[in-house]
Amino acid sequence: MDAYRIDIPQADLDDLRDRLGRTRWPDELPGTAWEYGVGREYLRELTAYWRDGYDWRAHEARLNAIPQFCTEIDGQAVHFLHVRSPEPGALPLVLTHGWPSTVYDFLDVIGPLTDPRAHGGDPADAFHVVIPSVPGFAFSGPTRETGWGPGRVARAWDTLMGRLGYHRYGAQGGDFGSIVAPELGRIAPDRVAGVHVNALATASTPFGPEDLEKLPADDRAQAERNAAWWYAHSGYATQMSTRPQTLAYALNDSPAGQLAWNLEWFVDWDPARTEQTPVDRDAILTDLTILWLTGTAGSAARLYRESGAAWGVRPAPAPVPTAVACFPGDRAIRGVAELSHTITRWTRYDRGGHFAALQAPDLLVSDVRAFFRTVR
């Protein structure tokens, strides 16, 4: 495997700034902001900041301060961050991001996880941290063939951990990462010590009438609310899981359009009314800028198509101990989760959000530490 360094040509940044300045704005029905989609004025303000205030070079330098590498697994380039703990008894931990995220989301948790002694924690809680870019995303993209769904990604992660000399390790993930991490427990239960997830994507609604009947009345009512919420918010997923290539032309051509598309999940609510902790705008724009500069927004969208066979199908039971951290906006139901996971810890928080590593990194670190103490 080779060391990797991000070095974006200035011409690419100049092109991005030029395109942002020539955005062709659509109309918006009066009084409908955030009801019909992303609010235009919010988007215009964020686009203006992206063009004239956001500093990519500062975030590029922050990323380059973390050891990065690239290797080939199963015919695909895989980029990853790798930070070893100074503690000799540290447990290896692979973290998986979701959509439309990148490895950047985890930068605030790397220090506390790898060196708890330096961050007011117990050195016995230390981890060696591996953070790969999901194939198709950013510096692991684009994908060159079909088939890169959750199972194949998990197998690649197990191969990667073995190459690094980690033969027993933990797995953590949120959003799409909450699908990949349990897959690791299914394919390598003898090597995966435990699985920790947030924003669990496979437990908000039952997978059929027989599953619904197994739930208590309160959980059935929550499942019905979840189904109604998903119906109103699932347009992005429907498009990407069926016709991602059609979408790719627009995403690859218009940075403002790509920003609006990504905000469907990062900020799919009125920012003044959400219960979730707002995501820092520089974090949103760094994830977006990485996808723009690598030309992988369309490739990242294909992940939903590659995962299509699993939609609506109950995952097979995962035998390894599993912890679920639920933050504001997460809709996982424990009774549904227990049909497919060996749940040993379930915690709800009143601060943070779907992108917990960005919205409440301190709580996420604390929960990860607490869970893995039980399986080390």
DSSP-derived secondary structure for 147-207:
--SHHHHHHHHHHHHHHTT-SSEEEEEEETHHHHHHHHHHH-TTTEEEEEEEEETT-SS-S
The predicted pLDDT at position 315 comes to 85
The predicted pLDDT at position 169 comes to 98
pTM: predicted TM-score of the whole model, two decimal places: 0.97
- According to DSSP, residue 25 is labeled P
Residue 246 to residue 252: CA distance in whole angstroms: 11
With contact defined as beta carbons under 8 Å apart, do 276 and 352 qualify? yes
Exposure of 229 in the CB half-sphere (CA atoms within 13 A): 14
Q: CA angle, corner 326, sides to 323 and 331, nearest 5?
A: 120
Helix (H, G, I), strand (E, B) or coil at 48: helix
pLDDT at 171 over 90: yes
Element (H, E) at 91: strand 91-96
- By DSSP bridging, strand 318-326 and strand 68-73 are unpaired
With contact defined as beta carbons under 8 Å apart, do 126 and 91 qualify? yes
Residue 242: band (very low, low, confident or very high) from pLDDT cuts 50, 70, 90: very high
Structure tokens belonging to residue 163: 């190459």
How many residues appear in the chain?
A: 376
The predicted pLDDT at position 250 comes to 97
With contact defined as beta carbons under 8 Å apart, do 265 and 274 qualify? no
Residue 315: is the preceding peptide bond cis (ω within 30°)? no
Structure tokens belonging to residue 88: 């000799």
Cβ burial of 306 (10 Å; 0-12, 13-18, 19+) is buried
With contact defined as beta carbons under 8 Å apart, do 175 and 150 qualify? no
pLDDT at 268 over 70: no
pLDDT at 365 over 80: yes
pLDDT at 233 over 90: no
Helix (H, G, I), strand (E, B) or coil at 76: strand
The predicted pLDDT at position 371 comes to 98
Residue 100 to residue 240: CA distance in whole angstroms: 12
Tell me the per-residue pLDDT of 174-199, one tens digit each, with 9 for 90 and over: 999 999 999 999 999 999 999 999 99
Residue 210: band (very low, low, confident or very high) from pLDDT cuts 50, 70, 90: confident
Quick one: average pLDDT of 215-231?
90
Tell me the per-residue pLDDT of 105-156, one tens digit each, with 9 for 90 and over: 999 999 999 999 999 999 999 999 999 999 999 999 999 999 999 999 999 9
Tokens 């992206």 belong to 50
pLDDT at 65 over 90: yes
Residue 264: band (very low, low, confident or very high) from pLDDT cuts 50, 70, 90: confident
The predicted pLDDT at position 167 comes to 96
With contact defined as beta carbons under 8 Å apart, do 370 and 321 qualify? no
- By DSSP bridging, strand 2-3 and strand 68-73 are antiparallel
With contact defined as beta carbons under 8 Å apart, do 214 and 335 qualify? yes
Backbone angles phi, psi at 21, to 5 degrees: -70, -15
- The mean pLDDT of the chain is 95
Portion of the chain with pLDDT greater than 70, in percent: 98
**b/e map 191-205, b = 16+ CB within 10 Å:** bbbbbbbbbbbbbbb
The predicted pLDDT at position 313 comes to 76
Residues 6+ apart with CB under 8 A from 282: 54, 59
Tell me the per-residue pLDDT of 281-328, one tens digit each, with 9 for 90 and over: 999 999 999 999 999 999 999 999 999 766 667 888 899 999 999 999
Residues 6+ apart with CB under 8 A from 356: 174, 198, 199, 325, 327, 363, 364
